[in-house]
A = this chain, B = another copy of it.
Amino acid sequence: MIKKSSKQRDAIIQSVKNRRDHPTADEIYAQLRESYPNISLGTVYRNLAKLSEAGFITRISCIEGADRFDGDTSSHYHFQCITCRKICDIDMDVDTNLNAKVEKLLDAHVDDHMAMFFGTCCKCKGLAKI
């Protein structure tokens, strides 16, 4: 799929890998424009799609708004605050033998699973009390 290199793509990988905030395509675009003033939003979308398909990064689809991307491809769960909409990682073991369990239940082949916890983050929890 990916056959040649480009500095735009390298910068996109770098951006996603360096950030911990699960950015959207638009947020990555905004960041990259500082170093590459005429990078195209289409290039960002195209490469994020290619990179996630190739497994270099992970795509996270959200109920509200744009997809988000994660440079950490290790299996881990996420939490999303229903107030500020921020997503953060959960430092908790992923139950990988659930995959085998589901395979048997459905007679399917299971590659992986993802989990998203919903609630109010510590910051927004605090603000609500004021």
Interface on A for B, CB 8 Å cutoff? 59, 61-63, 67, 77, 79, 81-82, 88, 90-92, 95, 98-99, 101-103, 105-122, 125
Contact = CB atoms under 8 A, between A and B. Distances in A.
Contact of A79 (B77, B79, B88, B106): B106
A106 B82 contact: no
Contacts of A79: 102, 106, 108, 110
Give the copy number: 2
A121 B27 CA distance: 35
Contacts of A92: 98, 101-102, 105
19 contacts: A77-B102, A79-B102, A79-B108, A88-B106, A90-B106, A91-B105, A92-B98, A92-B105, A95-B95, A99-B117, A103-B119, A106-B121, A107-B122, A109-B125, A111-B118, A112-B119, A113-B117, A114-B118, A115-B115
